[in-house]
Amino acid sequence: MCQYSSPADGTATDWHLAHLGSRAVAGVGLVMTEATAVSRDGRISPHDLGIWSDNQVPGLRRVTDFLRQHGAVSGVQLAHAGRKASRLPAWEGGGFLQPEGGGWETLGPSALAYDRTGLAVPREMTLTEIDAVVDDFGAATRRAREAGFDVIEIHAAHGYLLHSFMSALSNTRDDQYGGDYEARTRLLREVITRVREEWGERPLFVRISVVEAFESPDSWTLADSERIAGWLIDQGVDLIDCSTGGLVPGAGIFGDTPAYQLEYSEALRRVGATTAVVGGITEPAQAEEILRDGKADLVLLGRELLRNPGWVGRAAAELGVPRPAPPQYFRAYRPGESTALLTERTH
């Protein structure tokens, strides 16, 4: 979940160490960064976390070292915001930043604004700029390795750059990166190929919007996702993180029902993908049922872990398994409630 807490140079701060580290201390198995920009113009806001410079590696390494010391696997989400870049942080309204206010030129597959109001119309990317994006993802992958991350997730959902190339709603190009399905997915496929070359056999996830949930013949559909899932499986992508929407304002699957996006994880599992489910998962029994019934292979929590950093301890207690906790927290447990990580030092 975006924190908008980096200085202009995109480095990780004490906030990131405390925010991500507290989840590791609380027993979260995989702790993943927010969308982390592979280039300066790929930031959502001026305060995004970045991985476009070697100067950003030490701060990220400080975070991954801490996560590893406390038993968590560390993940980084590599992203380029595309036409949704140059925005204010959410708590400042999230509006687009004009150049005179510290914003920058946004880029996209075509000169079509996210909000269709004529504001922040992106510049259609040249072939040279598209090649540079592939290089940026490759260089970011090298830095992720140097920073000690265990997992990379490529963000190709929610209307950001890679997703905007995939959808005919936002991509009206007539060259090798636009037109039919093969051309529109070419950038994603090139990025994944480059990342895999740099990353080796380490775990690689891809986040997609399985459906756009927008009534148009040009919308990306479940059938399109099933098709790209087959290619991702063939390329050795380890997991598809299943979300929805985000390409146009108000489009997506939203609801108050538990696990409201679960059907999309189930659909991609049926075509052979390993999947993660997100959205509306708040109860431990609910998460356990999803895994037990084979509807997803991994449960990812975002907002719920913001609301309740100790969710894993609650889940362990409700499900009757050892509670993960560092020895420093031994006074939180009654005799006989020793946790998976408590040792003799608690006495």
DSSP 202-218: S-EEEEEES-----STT
Predicted local distance difference test score (pLDDT) of residue 118: 55
Nearest to 202 by CA among 239, 252, 173: 239
For 66-118, the pLDDT digits (tens) are: 999 999 999 999 999 999 999 998 888 888 888 888 899 999 999 999 886 65
Predicted local distance difference test score (pLDDT) of residue 117: 60
Cα→Cα distances 159→170, 176, 237, 267, Å: 9, 20, 21, 21
State the pLDDT confidence band at 336, using cuts at 50, 70 and 90: low
Predicted local distance difference test score (pLDDT) of residue 104: 95
Predicted local distance difference test score (pLDDT) of residue 213: 84
CA distance 192 to 137: 9
CA distance 153 to 51: 13
Q: Is the pLDDT of residue 277 over 90?
A: yes
For 247-262, the pLDDT digits (tens) are: 988 777 776 678 889 9
Q: Is the pLDDT of residue 339 over 60?
A: no
Predicted local distance difference test score (pLDDT) of residue 326: 84
State the pLDDT confidence band at 345, using cuts at 50, 70 and 90: very low
**DSSP H stretches of helix in the chain:** 14-25, 57-69, 127-146, 161-166, 181-184, 186-199, 222-234, 262-270, 284-292, 303-307, 311-319
Q: What is the mean pLDDT of residues 192-196?
A: 98
Predicted local distance difference test score (pLDDT) of residue 343: 42
State the pLDDT confidence band at 342, using cuts at 50, 70 and 90: very low
**pTM, rounded to two decimals:** 0.93
Q: What percent of the chain has pLDDT over 90?
A: 81
Q: What is the mean pLDDT of residues 24-50?
A: 97
CA distance 174 to 160: 20
Predicted local distance difference test score (pLDDT) of residue 335: 55
Task: Compute, in degrees rounded to 10, the torsion defined by CA atoms 174, 176, 181, 184.
Answer: -90
Predicted local distance difference test score (pLDDT) of residue 268: 98
Give the DSSP H/E element, type plus range, for residue 241: strand 239-243
CA distance 115 to 117: 5
Give the DSSP H/E element, type plus range, for residue 33: strand 30-37
Predicted local distance difference test score (pLDDT) of residue 96: 86
Across the chain, mean pLDDT equals 92
Beta strand 151-156 pairing with 73-79: parallel
CA distance 69 to 244: 34
Q: What is the mean pLDDT of residues 330-345?
A: 55
Of the chain, the end-to-end C-alpha distance in Å amounts to 38
For 136-164, the pLDDT digits (tens) are: 999 999 999 999 999 999 999 999 999 99
Predicted local distance difference test score (pLDDT) of residue 279: 92
Catalytic residues: 160
In the DSSP assignment, the letter for residue 302 is S
Beta carbons of 74 and 148 less than 8 angstroms apart: yes
Q: Is the pLDDT of residue 323 over 90?
A: no
Nearest to 228 by CA among 206, 196, 204, 247: 206
- The token duo for 291 is 């895994």
Beta carbons of 41 and 105 less than 8 angstroms apart: yes
